[in-house]
Homo-oligomer: A and B are copies of this chain.
Amino acid sequence: MVNPIACLLVIGNEVLSGRTQDANVKFIATRLGEIGIALREVRIIPDVAATIIATLNECRARFDHVFTTGGIGPTHDDITSECVAAAFGVPWEPHPQAWEMMQRGYKSGEFNAARQRMATMPRGASLIANAISIAPGFSIGNVHVMAGVPRIMQSMFDSLAPTLAGGPPIISRAVHALALLEGRIAEGLAGVQAEFPELDVGSYPFYRVSGNGVALVVKGTDVAMAEAAVAKITDLIEQLGLVPIQGEPPAA
């Protein structure tokens, strides 16, 4: 059984300028893996219409799902929604349900022109509920448009996730060892990867207060196969005279 593949577009000058540390990639990547959708590419792009439209059209053709974060607020630099309409070649117009919801959410006279832009969407969009603030996200075709503010994005993702058809969950098993050097285990590890081509075997050095070492991480959809690969890697570590420790290394 195969996993659908996805691309994430992080839209916003603030990430590209270094002002803002992205916090959405890790959340979305992790949650997609749990529902069996493989995140295969992330692009961080600026608030430039031509770039957003071209990237949307390239990626929605190449991937089963395209997720976007950022650029759906009320200010002049929030242009994601109108760019999605342009990419799909459909009108960008008031969405009746979003409009009604937002009109109700603001006090009389406060649903101004800037805020009305947040209720303006590509024709045919279906809403993504948002439990944190007033403006919803939306999906159109295989493109899912969410806010950039992490807690709002997370609320939208929670609404969206149950509607996405995934594959078998992508699971992870790890073993690590202190004082291990990648160059010593590399040859054996390549053998394990060759023996289990369906799995993804990764090697990640870590530098912690508790010590340095390497984490070996196996990902795939077959738990028994992943555990068999970890058992082989555990043997490799022992053959080097080191102590294998199951799981990921401590966080600090």
Which A residues fall within an 8 A CB radius of B? 10, 13-22, 25-33, 39-47, 51, 73-77, 110, 112-115, 149, 151, 170, 172, 182-187, 189-190, 193, 200-205, 207, 217, 219
A76 lies within 8 A of B219 (CB): no
Nearest Cβ on chain B to A75's Cβ, whole angstroms: 4
Given A16-B40, A19-B217, A41-B44, A203-B25 contact (CB < 8 Å): no
Give CA–CA (A10, B10) in the complex, Å. 14
Looking at chain A's contact residues, the main secondary structure is mixed
| Copies of the chain in the assembly | 2
How far in angstroms is the closest Cβ of chain B from A63? 12
Contact B42 A43 (CB under 8 A): yes
Contacts of A74 in B (CB 8 A): 182-183, 186
Contacts of A21 in B (CB 8 A): 26
13 A-B contact pairs sorted by A residue (CB < 8 Å): A13-B202, A14-B202, A16-B40, A16-B42, A17-B170, A19-B217, A20-B26, A41-B46, A74-B186, A75-B185, A75-B203, A77-B201, A114-B187
Tell whether, in the assembled complex, residue A18 and residue B33 are in contact, meaning their CB atoms are under 8 Å apart: yes
Residue in chain B with minimal CB distance to A19: B217
Instruction: Give me 5 other A-B pairs in contact (C-beta within 8 A), A18-B26, A19-B217, A40-B46 excluded.
Output: A20-B204, A41-B46, A42-B42, A73-B205, A75-B186
The answer to whether A183 and B115 touch across the interface, beta carbons within 8 angstroms, is yes
B172 touches A114 (CB 8 A): no
Establish whether residues A41 and B16, one from each chain, have CB atoms under 8 Å apart when the complex forms.
yes
What is the CA–CA distance of A93 and B170 in the complex, to the nearest angstrom?
A: 36
CB distance from A150 to the nearest CB of B (A): 9
Q: Is the CB of B26 within 8 A of A39?
A: no
Task: With both chains docked as a complex, state the minimum distance between the C-beta of A110 and any C-beta of chain B, in angstroms.
Answer: 8
B172 touches A207 (CB 8 A): no
Q: Would A17 and B75 be within 8 Å (CB), given that A25-B44, A43-B43, A205-B149 are in contact?
A: no
> Which residues of B sit under 8 angstroms from A15, Cβ to Cβ?
25, 29, 42
